[in-house]
Amino acid sequence: MAEEQTELIASKNNDAFADTRMSFGDHLLELRARMIKSIYGLLAGFVFCLIFSDEIISFITIPMLVALRISGLEPQLYVSMAPEAFMTYIKVALYCGIFVSAPWVFYQMWGFVAAGLYPHERRYVNIFAPFSAGLFILGGVFFIIVVAPVSFNFFVNFSQKMQTPSLSRDSVMTRIMMKVVGETFEVLDTDSRDNDTTDQDDGSPTDNKPLVDFKKPLIKPIFTLQQYVTLVAWLAVVFGLAFQMPLAVFLLGRLSIVSLQTLGAMRKYVLFSIFIVAALITPPDVVSQVALGLPMYALYEVGILMLRLWPERKR
């Protein structure tokens, strides 16, 4: 009797999720306990990140500031309302706290799922719970370090390519517009003459000078801190979830929901679906879509490779 009790205790110590059959009420209590523990973990992550919010904001704004510097613009973000800076400070701590506490939250989620699995299935949970949390964090970091600089550089450069059209007084279209608007252009013309100095080396009359310097960009991008942080946080979560692809593929194959042969035969359909999803959940630019679509498909292949290299044990 004593030996059986010793073996039972040892088996429970070896399995972090060891335990069993529960009624529906027990499952609800288990879910409640797991949710409370997850909330405690999120609060701890929030407080931790709140202490280092300045450093975190500096880190996540580097991609945008670098893109602005490359384009010759002032590397600075703006706020449109008085409380925006403070609210963004809190949001950054909250978003980053989710990432920091992700391993703990994933552990609790997988722990609740494991209660309804067989012992040989719980073995996979013990392995993949930390692996899943690590992939989530890796996806977010991959976006900020690799994808964000390229994507934001594309946005800023594209806005700079739009040049202000020449509004020379010799232009036919300009003369037509001046006739249409009349006094408005006369006032503008008068103000332009008053402000222009007579430092004309070629002796050309003032009337031939353009009303607007056509060499200036048509658009001056002004990025607010709150909008930027919200966009970065959303895309970081998207990339974190996308990096769960190998686990999803592995579990589908290992649980015999989809066979390995079917997963291999569906490659072209999966590739097409991945880019459709990437187009829907990323900003409307090719750079972000490709930057999300290619890693997702590569991780799909990693999941198939895991199924091939990790043979299923005989039941």
Instruction: Tell me how far CA of residue 44 lies from CA of 96, 101, 146, 207, 300, in angstroms.
Output: 11, 8, 28, 68, 33
Residue 238 lies inside a defined structural domain of this protein: no
The whole domain housing 282 covers 244-315
Examine the domain organization and report whether 31 and 143 are in the same domain.
yes
CB 126 within 8 A of CB 16: yes
SS (H, E, C) the chain: CHHHHHHHHHHHHHCCCCCCCCCHHHHHHHHHHHHHHHHHHHHHHHHHHHHCHHHHHHHHCHHHHHHHHHCCCCCCCECCCCCHHHHHHHHHHHHHHHHHCHHHHHHHHHHHHHCCCCHHHHHHHHHHHHHHHHHHHHHHHHHHHHHHHHHHHHHHHHHHHCECCCCCCCCHHHHHHHHHHCHHHHHHHHHHHHHCCCCCCCCCCHHHCCCCCCCCECCCCCCEHHHHHHHHHHHHHHHHHHCCHHHHHHHHHHCCCCCHHHHHHCHHHHHHHHHHHHHHHCCCCHHHHHHHHHHHHHHHHHHHHHHHHCCCCCC
pLDDT of residue 289: 80
Residue 120 lies inside a defined structural domain of this protein: yes
Examine the domain organization and report whether 156 and 174 are in the same domain.
no
pLDDT of residue 28: 80
Examine the domain organization and report whether 169 and 156 are in the same domain.
no
Examine the domain organization and report whether 225 and 91 are in the same domain.
yes
Question: What whole-number distance in Å separates Cα of residue 37 and Cα of residue 27?
Answer: 15
Examine the domain organization and report whether 269 and 121 are in the same domain.
no
Examine the domain organization and report whether 85 and 225 are in the same domain.
yes
pLDDT of residue 174: 67
How is residue 26 written in tokens? Answer: 């027990």
Examine the domain organization and report whether 96 and 170 are in the same domain.
no
Examine the domain organization and report whether 51 and 109 are in the same domain.
yes
Residue 290 lies inside a defined structural domain of this protein: yes
Residue 190 lies inside a defined structural domain of this protein: yes
Examine the domain organization and report whether 225 and 80 are in the same domain.
yes
Residue 28 lies inside a defined structural domain of this protein: yes
Residue 2 lies inside a defined structural domain of this protein: no
Examine the domain organization and report whether 167 and 315 are in the same domain.
no
Total domains in the fold of the chain: 3
Examine the domain organization and report whether 210 and 275 are in the same domain.
no
Per-residue pLDDT of the chain (315 residues; tens, 9 = 90+): 545 554 544 455 445 444 445 666 777 888 888 889 889 999 999 999 999 888 888 888 888 888 888 877 888 888 888 788 888 888 888 888 888 887 788 778 877 777 666 676 677 667 777 787 788 888 888 888 888 888 888 888 877 776 666 666 556 666 676 666 654 544 444 444 445 544 444 544 444 454 544 456 677 778 888 888 888 888 888 888 888 888 888 878 877 778 888 888 888 888 888 888 888 877 777 777 888 888 888 888 888 888 888 766 544
Residue 6 lies inside a defined structural domain of this protein: no
Examine the domain organization and report whether 264 and 121 are in the same domain.
no
How is residue 37 written in tokens? Answer: 């523990």
List, as own/partner pairs, every contact residues 1-5 make where C-beta atoms lie below 8 angstroms and the sequence separation is at least 24, other chains included: none
pLDDT of residue 200: 47
